[in-house]
Structure 1
Amino acid sequence: MENAGVTYTSSEHAGIKIEVCQYQPTDRPIEDRFSVTANEASSRLIIGVYDGHGGAATAEHISHILPAALLNNPPSEHARVFKSTDESMIANFTNDHSILRSKSRSWVEHAQIVKSGCTALILDVDVITKIASFANAGDCRVVVFSTSVDPNERLLQTKDLNAKTPSERERLKREHPGEDLLVVSGRLFGRLMSTRGFGDACYKLPNGPIGNWKHRKYIDALSSIEEPNKVAMNAQYQSLFYGYRTPPYLTATPMVGTMQLQENDVVIMATDGLWDCVSSKEVADIVRTGVSVAAPNLLEYLLDNIRATKMPGDDVTIVLFQT
Structure 2
Amino acid sequence: MNYSNINVVVSTYLKVDRSLKQKLSNIWYKSGALDDRNQFGCINLTSRFFHSFNVRRQVEKDGVEVLLSPQEVTVILRKNEFNKDFSYGSVKSYDSNQLPSNTPIEDTRCEAQCKMTSGLLMGVFDGHGGPACAQVISKRLFKYIAAALLPQNLLQKYIKQEPREPLIETFNDRAEIVQDLKLIYDHSFNLYLNKLIAGAKNDVNIESSLVDSIMQLDNDLSREVLGQYKENGTVNHKTLSVALSGAVACLSYIDGPHMYVANVGDCNAVIGTMNDDNEWLAQKITKEHNTENFDELKRIWNEHPDEERKTVIRRDRLLGELAPLRSLGDYRYKWDTETLSEIVVPLIGQKAIPANYYTPPYLTAKPDIYYHRLSPKDKFLIIASDGLWDMMTPLQAVKLVGEHMKGKVFFNPLKLPKKNIQLGDLNELLMHRKESLKSKPKDRNAATHLIRHAIGGTEYGVDHSRLAHLLSLSPDVSRMFRDDMTVTVVYFDSEYLRQCPA
Q: Normalization by structure 1: what TM-score?
A: 0.85
- Native 8 Å contact 1:52 1:58 kept in 2: yes
Give 1 or 2: higher helix fraction. 2
1:20 paired residue among 72, 93, 96: 96
Q: 1:253 to 1:11 in 2, by over 3 A?
A: same
- Native 8 Å contact 1:141 1:269 kept in 2: yes
- Native 8 Å contact 1:141 1:158 kept in 2: yes
Give 1 or 2: higher strand fraction. 1
- Native 8 Å contact 2:95 2:447 kept in 1: yes
1:4 paired residue among 71, 76, 79: 76
1:170 paired residue among 298, 316, 320: 298
For the aligned residue pairs, the C-alpha RMSD in angstroms reads 2.3
Q: 1:260 to 1:309 in 2, by over 3 A?
A: same
Aligned-residue offset at 1:48:
0.9
1:268 paired residue among 362, 373, 382: 382
Aligned residue for 2:288? 160
- Native 8 Å contact 2:281 2:395 kept in 1: no
Q: How many residues were matched structurally? A: 300
Q: 1:155 to 1:22 in 2, by over 3 A?
A: same
Gaps of 5+ in 2: 1-48, 50-73, 150-205, 409-440, 459-469, 471-480, 493-502
Aligned residue for 1:44? 119
Structure-to-structure mapping, 1:69-218, within 5 angstroms = 69-74=144-149, 75-76=206-207, 77-98=209-230, 101-103=232-234, 107-126=236-255, 128=256, 130-147=257-274, 150-151=278-279, 153=281, 155-178=283-306, 179-180=308-309, 181-207=311-337, 213-218=338-343
- Native 8 Å contact 2:280 2:399 kept in 1: no
Distance 2:115 2:126 in 1: 27
Q: Which deviates the most, 2-11 or 112-121?
A: 2-11
Aligned residue for 2:140? 65
Aligned residue for 2:489? 320
Letter in 2 for 1:301: H
Secondary structure class of the residue paired with 2:232: coil
Aligned-residue offset at 1:3:
2.2
Aligned-residue offset at 1:172:
0.6
Residue by residue, what CA displacement relative to the aligned partner does 1:54-98 show, whole Å, maximum 9, x if unpaired?
111101111011101101123231111111111111111122322
Aligned-residue offset at 1:14:
6.3
- Native 8 Å contact 1:13 1:45 kept in 2: no
Secondary structure class of the residue paired with 2:298: helix
Letter in 2 for 1:92: E
Aligned-residue offset at 1:242:
1.9
Aligned-residue offset at 1:168:
1.4
Letter in 1 for 2:98: Q
Residue by residue, what CA displacement relative to the aligned partner does 1:223-258 show, whole Å, maximum 9, x if unpaired?
x2xxxxxxx3x2435xx5221111111101000121
Letter in 1 for 2:396: E
- Native 8 Å contact 2:280 2:402 kept in 1: no
Aligned-residue offset at 1:154:
6.0
Q: Normalization by structure 2: what TM-score?
A: 0.56
Aligned residue for 1:259? 372
Matched, 1:298 2:430: no
Aligned residue for 1:236? 351
Secondary structure class of the residue paired with 1:84: helix
Distance 1:112 1:61 in 2: 11
Aligned residue for 1:229? none
Distance 2:254 2:285 in 1: 15
**Residue identity (%):** 24
Letter in 2 for 1:167: D
Aligned residue for 2:411? none
- Native 8 Å contact 2:280 2:398 kept in 1: no
Aligned residue for 1:228? none
